[in-house]
Amino acid sequence: MNNLEQPQEPHYWDVFPKLIRVSRSPFVQRIPLSIRGLPEAPVFESSNPDVASVDQDGNVECGFVPGAAMILVWDSPERLSLRHVQVEVYGGGVSAPVEVPS
């Protein structure tokens, strides 16, 4: 490192909640994710969209299908830094999903 280069400060960012645990339901269950810090342009993806889906704004929808999924959140489209949210849907015996008017 020469005298003109400054060490870069660590870039803090995180996503919350870390765990979403819900019971199976015929109603849409929406949980917005909260980003702390200043990631460049967060990118969201679900490991199992049948159990939990996520939109481009970080809103998770789940509860129709029992199971588990990870919501992956990268700091930018380059996907250099990753955080995750665990989603667990419990229960059974519920009929087809019902959309609740907003």
Q: Give the model confidence (pLDDT) of 53-94 as tens digits.
A: 999 999 999 999 999 999 999 999 999 999 999 999 999 654
For the chain, the structural domain boundaries read: 14-90
pLDDT value, residue 11: 78
pTM for the whole structure: 0.80
Query: Which CATH number applies to 14-90?
Result: 2.60.40.10
Average pLDDT of the segment spanning 14-38: 96
Higher-confidence residue: 60 or 9? 60
CA 17 to chain centre: 8
